[in-house]
């Protein structure tokens, strides 16, 4: 939920006149633009390992980052000292990126309204540990009861809430109060010398009401099911095969293989495969890909980005045609366009950069069962552990954590050690069928870039890629 004016400033012990003074100091050497990013973050986690509490933590982080832009150059400094002198010192440090310019006249700042995309009924940070522990035990017991081959269960409930206050030299300030809950269950199954691991869970920008509709026991059973199923998995075949991506979690492949290449810093620097290609066909006409920071309570949703701009629903690829990128302040000025609401940062200690929020592919015209029936021999990839991508050329490698053979139009045996290897633009051009079953993955994904991590959402319907290299054993 957005923060109100008195609360936003009281959290950090400052007032508007001090903020204006700090911004003026930051620009005193001739910078083009400056902003202040105040953050107060409370995080906590409770973990149950082998039915025993193994971790219980709570931490508080408080500070301010000062950024100054001069052309394409960025000066940045952060401080935990929120006194007048501490803030002015950080402003002078960040402002050193500019030199030789004249001092800026006094800056006047007015408030702007943020959206309200994550209402919370029961904040997780306010709930006692015993209540949370009961949820963890529910997941633990359900996983162990599922099958005696489940030998280890680790259940974790992590929560955070952060207040942010962004004040800019363009004359605006905006605040937000950002909740987050994440529930994870990891299992290990063993039989006849074989061992398989599995992980499941979810969450989002929500409170304890998440568990009103998401059963911890169901999460435990699902993690157990995957681990036990994969005990009997065959070695994956190798070679170029049709691959069907399952709805939901497979969106992480889209996020990595396509999404990062559409972040505008790579395109501003012309290091992306998508640079200078606005208006070009870059995918099958069945592919429409969107980044949307406005989905209620989703993990990647934001009421305001970390530069003070409202989130947007940005169509990146429409019917296979590249329509745009995801931007921060530097790239919007470079390309001469309006902000897209994608300037994000891990914390007050980090500079903002273009980042995804909730990135997904829209549904298509095909029945999911029809897609499976169309495959004579191939792979059905249901969930992933993540992957790696080369932004400059789009090459990627992904590890499939739950995958199956498709034989004569039917999903048959589970397969292990499946790696999908390909090129993002090439793979998107190989998309021949897109299902009607769009699913937004439950909130468990975190994206890393340049040493920073931010929460994101992913989603996709069932999708058929006609040819993709599968790394496994030779048939």
Strands (E) across 73-168 are located at 73-79, 110-111, 150-168
Q: What is the pLDDT of residue 4?
A: 55
pLDDT (mean) for 260-277:
96
**Vertex 295: Cα angle to 289 and 301 (nearest 5):** 95
Q: What is the pLDDT of residue 413?
A: 97
H helix or E strand, kind and range, residue 449: strand 445-449
**Vertex 175: Cα angle to 173 and 179 (nearest 5):** 160
Q: What is the DSSP string of 328-382?
A: -HHHHHHHT----S-EE-SSTTS--EE--SEEEE---SB-HHHHHHT-SEEEEEE
* Burial class of residue 274, CB neighbours in 10 A (0-12, 13-18, 19+): buried
Model confidence at 5: pLDDT above 80 = no
pLDDT (mean) for 366-373:
98
Strands 358-361 and 445-449: unpaired
**Structure tokens that stand for 139 in this block:** 């997941």
260: phi then psi, degrees, rounded to nearest 5: -60, -35
Q: Taking the domains of the chain in order of start, what are their residue ranges?
A: 5-231, 235-471
Model confidence at 474: pLDDT above 50 = no
Query: Helix crossing, 84-95 with 16-26: angle to 10°?
Result: 30
Q: How confident is the model at residue 6 (pLDDT cuts 50, 70, 90)?
A: low
* Burial class of residue 231, CB neighbours in 10 A (0-12, 13-18, 19+): middle
- Which CATH number applies to 5-231? 3.30.2290.10
Mind listing the pLDDT tens digit for each residue in 106-139? 788 888 888 999 999 999 999 999 999 999 999 9
Mind listing the pLDDT tens digit for each residue in 320-354? 999 999 999 999 999 999 999 999 999 999 999 99
**Structure tokens that stand for 142 in this block:** 């359900």
Query: Residue 235 CB: number of other CB atoms within 10 A?
Result: 13
pLDDT (mean) for 4-22:
86
Q: Cα-Cα-Cα-Cα dihedral of 401, 405, 409, 411, to 10°?
A: -60
């Amino acid at each position: 939920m957005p923060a109100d004016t008195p609360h936003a400033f009281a959290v950090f012990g400052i007032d508007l006149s001090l903020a204006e003074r700090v911004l003026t100091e930051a620009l005193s050497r001739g910078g083009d633009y400056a902003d202040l990013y105040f953050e107060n973050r409370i995080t906590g986690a409770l973990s149950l390992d082998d039915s025993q509490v193994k971790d219980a933590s709570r931490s508080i982080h408080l500070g301010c980052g000062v950024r100054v832009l001069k052309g394409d150059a960025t000066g940045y400094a952060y401080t935990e000292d929120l006194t007048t002198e501490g803030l002015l010192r950080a402003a002078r440090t960040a402002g050193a990126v500019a030199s030789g310019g004249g001092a800026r006249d006094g800056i006047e700042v007015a408030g702007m309204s943020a959206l309200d995309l994550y209402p919370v009924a029961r904040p997780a940070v306010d709930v006692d540990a015993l209540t949370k522990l009961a949820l963890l035990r529910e997941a633990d017991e359900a996983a162990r009861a599922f099958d005696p081959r489940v030998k280890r269960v680790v259940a974790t409930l992590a929560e955070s809430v952060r207040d942010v206050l962004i004040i800019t030299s363009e004359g605006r300030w905006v605040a937000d109060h950002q909740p987050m809950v994440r529930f994870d269950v990891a299992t290990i199954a063993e039989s006849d010398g074989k061992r398989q691991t599995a992980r499941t869970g979810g969450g989002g920008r929500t409170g304890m009401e998440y568990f009103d509709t998401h059963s911890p026991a169901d999460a435990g059973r699902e993690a157990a099911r995957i681990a036990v199923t994969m005990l009997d998995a065959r070695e994956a075949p190798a070679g170029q095969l049709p691959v069907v991506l399952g709805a939901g979690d497979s969106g992480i492949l889209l996020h990595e293989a396509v999404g990062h290449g559409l972040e505008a810093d790579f395109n501003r620097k012309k290091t992306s495969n998508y640079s200078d290609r606005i208006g070009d066909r870059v995918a099958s006409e069945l592919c429409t890909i969107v980044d949307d920071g406005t989905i209620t309570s989703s993990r990647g949703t934001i009421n305001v980005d970390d530069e003070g701009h409202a989130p947007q629903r940005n169509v990146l690829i429409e019917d296979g045609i590249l329509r745009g990128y995801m931007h921060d302040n530097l790239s919007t000025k470079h390309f001469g366009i309006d902000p897209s609401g994608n300037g994000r940062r891990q914390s007050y200690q980090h500079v903002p950069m273009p980042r995804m929020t909730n990135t997904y592919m829209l549904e298509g015209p095909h029945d999911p069962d029809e897609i499976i029936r169309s495959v004579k021999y191939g792979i059905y990839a249901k969930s992933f552990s993540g992957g790696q991508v080369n932004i400059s050329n789009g090459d990627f490698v992904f590890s499939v954590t739950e995958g199956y053979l498709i034989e004569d139009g039917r999903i048959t045996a589970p397969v292990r050690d499946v790696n999908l290897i390909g090129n993002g633009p090439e793979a998107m051009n190989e998309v021949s069928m897109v299902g009607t079953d769009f699913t937004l993955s439950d909130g468990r994904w975190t994206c890393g870039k340049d040493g920073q991590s931010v929460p994101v959402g992913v989603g996709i319907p069932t999708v058929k890629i006609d040819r993709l290299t599968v790394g496994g054993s030779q048939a």
